Chains A and B, each alone.
Chain A
Amino acid sequence: MKSTAHDFKENVVTAMAKPNLRRAMARLETTIGPQRIAARAALPEYDALCDQATDIKNHVLAHLDVYLERFEAKVVEAGGEVHWCRTPEEARQTVLRLCRSVEARTVTKGKSMIAEEVGLNEYLEANDIEPIETDLGEYIIQLAGQPPSHIIAPAVHMTREEISDLFFDKHRKYGRTKRLEEPSELVNEARELLRHRYLEADVGITGANFLIAETGSSVIVTNEGNGDLTQTLPQMHIVIASLEKIVPTLEDATTLLRVLARSATGQEFSVYTTFSTGPRRVGDSDGPGAYHVVLLDNGRSAMLGTEFQDMLRCIRCGACMNNCPVYASVGGHAYGWVYPGPMGAVLTPSLIGLEGTHHLPNASSFCGRCEAVCPMRIPLPKMMRHLREQAFEQALVPAAERACVRLWAYLAKRPALYHLATGLAARVLGAWGRRRGAFRRLPLASGWTAGRDLPAPQGRTFHSLWRARRARAAEKA
């Protein structure tokens, strides 16, 4: 997928002007938020499970090369194949080659963020293979020609009226001429129209929530069952996954599963968790005849051993974005690439480079909620701070801003000078703004005053007021 993260500031302005978006995003806070808290409260061991899940992924990352080799050997033992891909280009080509090997015309797809990362749909379409998204949210945004705006609820930015209009417009060609309004009716229409597509597809592509080294299995977690119809009915199942999805054993996967649904949707457990191992066996009466795992690196192996290694623990539950005030205001599209919210603000620059993405780590008030809710204990604010530092060092920040930060740093390291300068500024601005009590316009602060007034200081700094108060208190004593 092509990044528009460099336009983050413009994207935000556009997003903030959409009233529908604000309404749609507000729902995250009123639904998923409380559900996650309730699920956590219902399981006394939740926090201890998160700690253990974190330890499991840390262990995996420290042994990733070894576990990947074990995983590959088990896939081969079960009759499947693993395809290692350094870049999105290699992954796209591999999938196309596999599809062509069975002369595929249509491909059904379960939800996969890695497929988004490599831009798979556009590539297949350009090569005359029709990709059909089957997750309801993905199906909706595919019809609308949009990228996902949330990693587990791809169409969360849309209202039911927008989806109703979309179905009315796009489903007419299938003889559906009634405008539907209720979510349950819309769900049912998509169900009916997709049913046949599963049966006629030549290849089914799914992502993976986990890859299990012990058994060579890929795991998908869904609520709809679309991923299962996608992988069971066609003659070939292709799994596209990034290589940090590995876990050692079934027991380790189980611990992570206990944490995943609770953090993601607040469910005790998702409806469908499916472990797929190789192609159908002798004696099986259904299932795919071929099984391939396309394993994408795309810069992840180079993140190991760096300050950003912890990001590779992420299990894509979406809790960080569900609890982020910035994400709730601007929605996922503003982030400009596959991964939005706090995890995207860290992962996107790590994968595609800070140049062109350096605004993303600034999309944070550092309130710390993302870190507090992360089941994998990923220190997201700290990483955003590291990225801000790197952007500064690499001169990606505009010269004027850099000069201001330098000046501030110079003063902050010299307290006497700092107090003198701030005291002077407070007095001057206080005198200047006394009559109105606020500034409508102020040189060098137009970014602030364009949208709101800047209150005028009252003439003295906090430090000088504090000193005066201490002096008074000492006198009394």
Chain B
Amino acid sequence: MASAREDILAVMRASLSRRDGDGAAAEASERLSRHAVNLVPERTRLPRAEQLALFVDMVEQAAATVTQVASDADVPGAVADYLAQHNLPSNVAMAPDARLSAIPWESQPLLSFRRGPAEEADEVGITGAFAGIAETGTLMMTSGEGRPTTLNFLPATHIVVLDEGGIVAIYEDAWSRLREASRVPDIDSGWQMPRTVNFVTGPSRTADIELVPALGAHGPKRLHVIIVAGRDGAR
């Protein structure tokens, strides 16, 4: 008996009247290697400064909050203010990421950090982001060394530190940057997707009870983005 795989492919090829050498494989290869950008919404074609404004506007529309700061030195204060404002504990789980480690956290001695993936008891998590996508106010997180995925989901409050230079207009821009940043020389395509890429647009929500929107279904109840000016964020 042929394997399920061979059976399914045989039925498919018969249904599609596939013949060897009909060019289907070549067409597919061409499309995959070209990965062309399709139609892009006009509203994203903006000068750089307005892109930032669109990003902030869309993040807020998605029920998240934004603080813009001038430099790394202002980040710890922004975090402390946010925690105090929302009556949140000052012990924080943080991604052991080189970018976050460059921030002078010692300027806020009342904040305490545990660096690593999320644990059940964590109430606040801080991560970086690979990119911010202005089109819909979407954050893009990638897994990897120093960037645990659980921090994006388990703590009830998620604070994201995003460099202004990481803000792009559209998802496609983020994909190009990711292809560039994830090069693996010894495979055919020359790059490999990280295990997990998360697009996050606002805090967790559900409308499963009577279609009434409620925040904080399983993921974070609060999402706060701190945008750091003047740094080229693409990693």
The answer to whether B196 and A274 touch across the interface, beta carbons within 8 angstroms, is: yes
Q: In the docked arrangement, what's the CA distance between A284 and B148, Å?
A: 7
**Known contacts A213-B32, A223-B217, A269 near B208 by CB under 8 Å:** no
Q: Which of B20-28, B124-132, B227-235 contacts the other chain?
A: B20-28
Judged by a CB distance under 8 angstroms, whether B5 is at the interface is: yes
**0/1 string, B11-32, CB within 8 A of A gives 1:** 1110111100000110110011
CB-CB < 8 A to B24: which residues of A?
A: 62-63, 65-66
Q: In the docked arrangement, what's the CA distance between A273 and B140, Å?
A: 10
Residue of B nearest to A153 (CB): B208
Residue of A nearest to B5 (CB): A84
CB-CB < 8 A to A191: which residues of B?
A: 216-218
CB-CB < 8 A to A135: which residues of B?
A: 208
The answer to whether B214 and A183 touch across the interface, beta carbons within 8 angstroms, is: yes
A351 CB → nearest B CB, Å: 14
The answer to whether A199 and B193 touch across the interface, beta carbons within 8 angstroms, is: no
Judged by a CB distance under 8 angstroms, whether B209 is at the interface is: yes
Which A residues between 270 and 320 are near B, CB-CB below 8 angstroms?
A: 270-281, 283-287, 297, 301-306
The answer to whether B216 and A271 touch across the interface, beta carbons within 8 angstroms, is: no
Choose among B15, B39, B206 the residue that contacts A187 (Cβ–Cβ < 8 A). B206
Judged by a CB distance under 8 angstroms, whether B85 is at the interface is: no
The answer to whether A271 and B208 touch across the interface, beta carbons within 8 angstroms, is: no
Q: Which of B65-73, B100-108, B149-157 contacts the other chain?
A: B149-157
Choose among B9, B31, B138, B149 the residue that contacts A269 (Cβ–Cβ < 8 A). B138
**Known contacts A250-B175, A273-B199, A65 near B193 by CB under 8 Å:** no
Task: Give the one of B41, B189, B206 with max A CB within 10 A.
Answer: B206
Q: In the docked arrangement, what's the CA distance between A418 and B175, Å?
A: 65
Q: In the docked arrangement, what's the CA distance between A277 and B24, Å?
A: 25
The answer to whether A284 and B144 touch across the interface, beta carbons within 8 angstroms, is: yes
The answer to whether A280 and B35 touch across the interface, beta carbons within 8 angstroms, is: no
Choose among A136, A271, A287 the residue that contacts B202 (Cβ–Cβ < 8 A). A271
CB-CB < 8 A to A63: which residues of B?
A: 24, 27-28
The answer to whether B196 and A276 touch across the interface, beta carbons within 8 angstroms, is: yes
The answer to whether B217 and A269 touch across the interface, beta carbons within 8 angstroms, is: no
Judged by a CB distance under 8 angstroms, whether A386 is at the interface is: no
The answer to whether B15 and A306 touch across the interface, beta carbons within 8 angstroms, is: yes
**Known contacts A28-B211, A287-B195, A271 near B35 by CB under 8 Å:** no
Q: In the docked arrangement, what's the CA distance between A135 and B204, Å?
A: 12
Q: Which of A154-162, A331-339, A454-462, A467-475 contacts the other chain?
A: A154-162
Residue of B nearest to A164 (CB): B209
A19 CB → nearest B CB, Å: 15
CB-CB < 8 A to A214: which residues of B?
A: 32, 35, 189
Choose among B18, B32, B62, B154 the residue that contacts A70 (Cβ–Cβ < 8 A). B32
CB-CB < 8 A to B172: which residues of A?
A: 251, 254
The answer to whether A271 and B15 touch across the interface, beta carbons within 8 angstroms, is: no
Residue of B nearest to A227 (CB): B218
**Known contacts A251-B38, A277-B194, A285-B148, A271 near B210 by CB under 8 Å:** no
The answer to whether A284 and B218 touch across the interface, beta carbons within 8 angstroms, is: no
Task: Give the one of A84, A188, A286 with max B CB within 10 A.
Answer: A286
The answer to whether A251 and B204 touch across the interface, beta carbons within 8 angstroms, is: no
Choose among A196, A217, A268 the residue that contacts B193 (Cβ–Cβ < 8 A). A217
Residue of B nearest to A186 (CB): B209
CB-CB < 8 A to B61: which residues of A?
A: 268
Judged by a CB distance under 8 angstroms, whether B212 is at the interface is: yes
B interface, CB within 8 angstroms of A: 3-5, 7-9, 11-13, 15-18, 24-25, 27-28, 31-32, 35-39, 41-43, 58, 61-62, 96, 116-118, 120, 136, 138, 143-146, 148-150, 152-154, 171-172, 175, 187, 189, 192-212, 214-220
Q: Given A43-B41, A45-B39, A249-B32, 6 more contacts at CB 8 Å?
A: A45-B41, A191-B218, A257-B171, A277-B195, A285-B116, A301-B12
**Can you list 5 A-B pairs with a CB-CB distance of less than 8 A?**
A136-B217, A137-B208, A184-B215, A248-B32, A273-B198
